[in-house]
Amino acid sequence: MKNLKIALVGQPNVGKSMLINAISNSKLRVGNFSGVTVEKAEVSFDFHNHTIKIIDLPGTYSLNEYTQDERVTKDFLENEEYDMIINVVDATNLERNLFLTTQLLGLNKKMIVALNMMDEAKKEGVCIDEEQLSSILGVPCVKVSAVTKRGIGKLINRTVDINSFDQESSKLVFSDTVEEEISNLVVFLKEKKYKSELSYRNLAIKLLEEDTKIYKNMHAKPIWTELLPIIQKALNHLYIHYSTKDIEEIFSQEKASFAKGAVLETVEFKKVDKKSFTKKIDSILIHKFFGIPIFLFFMWGLFQLTFEIGSIPMDWIDIFFGSLGEYAKTVFGDGELGSLIADGAIAGVGAVVMFLPNIIILFLGIALLETTGYMSRVAFLLDGFFHKFGLHGKSFIPLVTGFGCSVPAYMSARTLKNDRDRLLTLFIIGFMSCGAKLPIFVLFAGAFFSEEQAGNVLFIIYIMGAMFGLVSAKVLKVFVFKGKDEPFVMEMPKYRMPSFKLIWHTVASKALMYLKKAGTFILIASVLIWFASNYPKQPELEEQFTQKIEIALSENEKLELSNELAETLLEKSYLGTIGKFSQPFFAPLGFDWKLTVALGTGLAAKEVVVATMGILYSLGGDVDESNSGLIDEISKNIPFPVAISFILFTMIYLPCLAAAVVFTKEAGGYKYLGYLFVFTTMTAWIIAFIGYHIAQIVV
């Protein structure tokens, strides 16, 4: 059996993922490229005494290094070991796709061009002479349709065939001016009998393109002294002819011209009078008046499905892990080991698994939006508004998702391909108040406002968080993520029926990655927080309270003493010590050590804040936001300005530990988590400080 390793390359929305599914029914393996969040998919299968492995590289418009996807694809194609390239192009938009093809031809690798979506091309009256196109490009071209699977067998057969023969030279040609300089360099290299792995023509092209790797390799060789003046003369000739010294721009023009010429020679467009399905749908979905309301309705529906339907299995999962924790205590006892396993490990894992239904529903919805072609239109609709705050149109999905849970919101930021846009979006997702913060807001709204006003207060809190996020995005754009805005260029792919196999793989891989990334870290962190809140032990104090509880006359008195013990133990624990140590930092906001400890536990999970306050105010940890006793204690012990300050700080500061872990992975390192911690903490402190003093003046 011969091994054949193939790189699958193409621009976005050309059907690569669908094609890789059509080529092989083998299970798709999905993972990440080393060191980055960019995903890669692989399939392996046997075919005619060959073991074929296909690696689906990220979609890229060109082999530049603007986006992370482009860098990953370029790095793989230039530095990794593989046998050949399958270049997937959209047959309905051939000229644009052939620009990438011209760049791939310069890699000096065996290649075959898959003219995908021929079923759609036929409907649109696009006729392609693939034999003539093969002759012009110098590589085989095969018509295929990933949807109908027509031409798939021929594609694989041709792939195996060309791998058995020697590689032919590319037929990529340029204008007379460029060809003249290529010829001059080729003549010189031949005269010097220079030894090169590349053909003299390909080497000459790379010298004119100022290829960094080629320049480094040749710089130390004796030929360089004579070669450099020839290169300089050639470049000066090109500068004069093109009225620019940007060599990348010159060759981009050349390759675009070659692609245009190839299309003129090989493509015939038959007149189709009938209005296309895509145009009919677009007339409604991207209508200048109705487009955004329709999208908001879709998002509202997805949001409702995610957090309404998702809440049903969440409750089941919560009950399951609660029961599992109780069972663990019956097995291991109510001592330290039982508490560690039940309250630390099981509770921590349960907190992560509980959000899995939300993750699945949300990414199912996003995958449907992407695979049908609607996501690109959403970005187009919203880019104008978001651009005012330095954000990209695609930022909307992660930000809206952030109102439900920051974990899937951080993961959905992958739809942003540019590093700067993605990082900026990641930094402000936390400003969108997640569902876990809702119990805190409900508690304080109930304590300080009437029942009629509470709903409006909650609405104002959520709107304020979003506005703070947009303003912060603008500030970060001006002072941190500087640089000229890239023009908003996004193709509008045709509407297509989603591939359910592809959606299944997408959703399943996202869910598994979530469990793998968040679950392991949360397990460790939950155990650490359990330890910090339960140690050091106070045996003498516990003995004193035990004696008091035993002689207590009523159940209420016993309950009060038990709650007081829990409060005292928490105050004397490592967590309480940390809270008191950090209390001076929060003193200007009006916080006492109890509120500081509550904020600290909120770093683990915001849901814990209310339970922590129940313990701190001697009501026990089983209270929730609707507990009248806790509402009374809050209203009596916390002044109104301090409550405003606490709400504002909670609204902005670092999300829970699960979200922090996912943020670290998506942003690309722990240094970004450090930046996020400093940024959100300082922003929260400043806004809470201002809110505290304004409330003091008003009250």
Calpha distance 308→167 (Å, rounded): 58
Q: How confident is the model at residue 517 (pLDDT cuts 50, 70, 90)?
A: low
Helix axes 657-667, 670-698, angle to 10 degrees: 130
The CA-CA-CA angle for residues 685, 689, 694, to 5°, reads: 150
Structure tokens at 450: 């009437």
| 3-state DSSP assignment of residue 654 | coil
Q: Is the pTM of this model over 0.75?
A: no
Res 623: pLDDT: 47
What does the pLDDT look like over 554-594, one tens digit per residue? Answer: 777 777 777 777 777 777 888 778 888 888 899 999 998 87
Kindly tell me if the per-residue pLDDT of 679 is higher than 90.
Answer: yes
Sequence ranges of the domains in the chain: 2-163, 176-243
Residues across the chain: 699
The C-alpha R_g of the chain, in whole angstroms, comes to: 31
Mean pLDDT of 481-497: 60
Q: What ranges in 437-592 are assigned the alpha helix state H?
A: 438-448, 451-479, 500-534, 539-551, 555-572, 574-586
More confident residue, 40 or 17: 17
Top CATH class of 2-163 equals alpha beta
Range with lowest mean pLDDT among 175-189, 455-469, 584-598, 637-651: 455-469
Token pair listed for 446: 């109930």
Query: What pLDDT score does 109 carry?
Result: 87
- Asked if the model's pLDDT at residue 279 lies above 70, the reply is no
Mean pLDDT over the full length of the chain: 80
What number is the average pLDDT over the span 630-654?
87
Question: What pLDDT digit, counting tens, does each position of 583-634 carry?
Answer: 889 999 999 887 888 888 788 777 677 767 766 664 444 545 455 666 777 8
- Angle at the Cα of 202 from the Cα atoms of 198 and 207, rounded to 5 degrees: 105
pLDDT at 501: 66
Contact 391, 473 (CB under 8 A): yes
Give CA–CA dist 568/571, Å, rounded: 5
Q: What is the C-alpha to C-alpha distance for residues 156 and 52, in angstroms, rounded to an integer?
A: 10
Cis link prior to 536 (omega < 30° from 0)? Answer: yes
Q: Give the pLDDT of residue 115.
A: 94
Cα distances (angstroms) measured from residue 343 to each of 315, 326, 330, 586, 618: 18, 9, 13, 29, 20
pLDDT for 484 beyond 70: no
- pLDDT for the residue 588: 93
CA nearest neighbour of 102 among 65, 133, 68: 133
For the stretch 362-409, pLDDT in tens is 678 777 877 777 766 776 777 777 878 888 777 877 887 787 678 778
What residue type is assigned to position 183 of the chain? S
Q: Distance of CA 10 to CAs 16, 115, 377, 485, Å? A: 7, 11, 21, 25
Interior angle at CA 302, CA 446 and CA 394, nearest 5: 100
The pLDDT of residue 30 is above 60 = no
Model confidence over 425-448: pLDDT tens digits? Answer: 999 998 988 777 877 887 788 888
